Amino acid sequence: MSETGNNLSGQPLRLDVALVHYPVCNRNGEVIGSAVTNLDLHDIARAGRTFGVDSYYIITPFADQQQLVREIVDHWVTGYGAGRNPARREALNLISLCPDLAGLYATVTDKWGVRPTVLATSAQVNERTVDYASVRARIKDGEPILLLFGTGWGLTREALAEVDGLLPPLKGGGEYNHLSVRSAAAIVLDRLLGRS
């Protein structure tokens, strides 16, 4: 991890990111499992490495999808791509697999010795919404935080009901709000950890 991702006391950030492929919604609000895509792995790993994320978890219960993740990561971390592009190796080295959210929560709780605060982005603003500035300060103070990003049309209502807080929707001047999950993750990490 070298010099990236230390808080003010020089300790590594206790921040993890997870990209959830199940359970998420499709365009009709039905619960589905989405397919893993190569660029979701690369782009969010590169942003995670840039901003000092500890681990980037890919959540999918499907064996063939897990195998695809392993093959992509192996290519860049230990295979041909590792020598060809060391910067990409450093990024994809953040990736771990988890079959489901229960497994994810157990893994990160075990890692930090305490259950982290779990936050998800949401199109809604309600009493569970936490603002970016306060989360930024909590990360800097060393609080373990886990950020969930949903693929497809987003995390199911049941998954959102389990998290500890919601990050406000990412907006420009208007109501249009259809960023890719890759763009949303990059912006959220910049808001929480970026420097000019």
| Contacts to a second copy by CB under 8 A | 2-6, 13, 27, 39, 42-43, 46-47, 49-52, 85, 87-88, 90-91, 131-132, 168, 170-180, 182-187, 189-191, 193-196
- Residue 21 or 88: which CB sits closer to a second copy? 88
- Residue 10 or 113: which CB sits closer to a second copy? 10
Distance of closest approach, residue 51 Cβ to a second copy, in angstroms:
4
Distance of closest approach, residue 46 Cβ to a second copy, in angstroms:
5
Cβ within 8 Å of residue 97, ≥6 positions away = 57, 58, 60, 66, 69, 70
Cβ within 8 Å of residue 53, ≥6 positions away = 5, 13, 15, 16, 17, 47, 94, 189
Cβ within 8 Å of residue 141, ≥6 positions away = 7
Distance of closest approach, residue 120 Cβ to a second copy, in angstroms:
16
8 Å CB contact between 22 and 32? yes
Distance between CA atoms of 37 and 92, rounded to whole angstroms?
A: 14
- Residue 25 or 47: which CB sits closer to a second copy? 47
Distance of closest approach, residue 6 Cβ to a second copy, in angstroms:
6
